[in-house]
Amino acid sequence: AQSVTQPDIHITVSEGASLELRCNYSYGATPYLFWYVQSPGQGLQLLLKYFSGDTLVQGIKGFEAEFKRSQSSFNLRKPSVHWSDAAEYFCAVGAAGLLVSGSARQLTFGSGTQLTVLP
């Protein structure tokens, strides 16, 4: 079974500083990887996804993530954080091998990282 670990429950950064949120996954085959963001009282918004190809993925709002198979990691980065980035961030893995049956919609999420941005 797949699993996702986000080791940092809470991260605090100053506005303008760089950001890296860690994500490690466990899956026996090629994973499909996602980063979602959730603001209070809201649903999840997709920041970026990795299916195949280039291991450095660009997303919305200036975020990027790098897939490192050797480290089973998919860390999210942003060079300069804005106050509006304060939210909870979730890494998720989908089972690529089950795509034919549509089970790519069955995502396994990490426990989330709460980001606080200081002025």
| 101 binds other proteins per the rule CB under 8 A | yes
Question: Which C-beta is closer to other proteins: that of 31 or that of 110?
Answer: 110
Among 28, 29, 41, 54, binds other proteins (CB under 8 A): 41
**Taking the CA of residue 115 as centre, how many other CA atoms within 13 Å lie in the half-sphere pointing to its CB?**
28
Which of 3, 26, 103, 116 forms a contact with other proteins (CB under 8 A)? 103
Binder to other proteins among 44, 62, 66, 86 (CB under 8 A)? 44
The tokens of 32 are what? 């499909």
| 15, amino acid identity | E
Residue 24 CB: number of other CB atoms within 10 A? 17
Size of the site for other proteins (CB under 8 A): 25
The residues binding other proteins (CB under 8 A) are 34, 36, 41-46, 49, 51, 90, 92, 99, 101-112
